[in-house]
Amino acid sequence: MAGSQVALSPAQAIAVLRTLDSCAVSDALDTLGLPGAVTGISAMWPTDTVMAGRVRTVTAAPKSSGGPSDHIATALVAGAERDDIVVIDNHGRTDVSCWGGLLAEASIQRGIAGVIVDGACRDVQESQALGLNLYARAAVPVSARGRIVQQAMDERIQVAGVSVASFDYVIADVNGVVFVAAQHAERVLELAQRIVAREAAMAQAVRSGRDVREVMHDSQFPTVTAE
């Protein structure tokens, strides 16, 4: 892909992301001076999976009316597509869940690749049993029902200070969550691949007995730049 001028399709971008990890993508964003890495949201169980896909946003809000309403995220999940990743913005609230096992069941049927909650989730064991990747700030037993609704979907949201829109990309793994704005995906992925290659060479140097002070010194192994 290096040097390629051909635009990546979403499927190609997702396939490349799945060969990377969140640290390499975060480093690429750093190099380009772009935001994307978030802190405080982590995998709900120890995982060796790299989750990558296309963002679909849900904006959560407290339920204001007394009457019946759609359950949060159902409208988005019902129309979601393969490799979508549901990203729920509950503004960091951890006193109520936004995600549970029934939503996970429906998500698997749609081919959804995973879920990220800027807030809390529940029924963690049900998502895990279904193999649905789940990232959140916390797990709590408290239901969304009667408390939280979907205010909007596919609107721009803020996740821990990072601006995120539907059809951006996201990668998440045991290290955390990193968003990639769609318009920068090509440059970010190309750079992240070069960063991975550099790290592999550095690891090989350490394995072959070179002093780690030398291998990791800023003067060694050409720093990967934006060019």
Ligand X SMILES: O=C([O-])CC(=O)C(=O)O
Among residues 86, 85, 71, 219, the alpha carbon closest in space to that of 150 is found at 71
H/E element holding 193?
helix 185-207
Q: Which of residues 20-39 bind ligand X (CB under 6 A)?
A: none
Q: Which of 18, 63, 110, 145 binds ligand X (CB under 6 A)?
A: 145
Q: Identify what 145 binds: Mg ion, ligand X, none; CB under 5 to 8 Å per kind.
A: ligand X
Q: Which of 36, 53, 101, 119 binds Mg ion (CB under 5 A)?
A: 101
Q: Collapsing DSSP states into helix, strand and coil, what is residue 208? A: coil
Task: Lay out the site mask for Mg ion across 61-100 (x = CB under 5 A, - = otherwise).
Answer: ---------------------------------------x
Q: Identify what 139 binds: ligand X, Mg ion, none; CB under 5 to 8 Å per kind.
A: none
Q: Which of 15, 102, 174, 216 binds ligand X (CB under 6 A)?
A: 102
Q: Collapsing DSSP states into helix, strand and coil, what is residue 210? A: coil
What are the angstrom distances between the C-alpha of 219 and each of 104, 210, 213, 216, 226? 48, 15, 11, 8, 18
Assess 122 for contact with ligand X (CB under 6 A). Answer: yes
Q: Identify what 128 binds: Mg ion, ligand X, none; CB under 5 to 8 Å per kind.
A: none
Alpha helices in 18-156 (DSSP H): 22-32, 74-78, 101-110, 124-130
Max Cα–Cα distance, the chain, nearest Å: 68
Q: Which of 84, 89, 123, 173 binds Mg ion (CB under 5 A)?
A: 123
Q: How many residues of this chain interact with ligand X, rule: CB under 6 A?
A: 10
Q: Which residues bind Mg ion (CB under 5 A)?
A: 100-101, 123
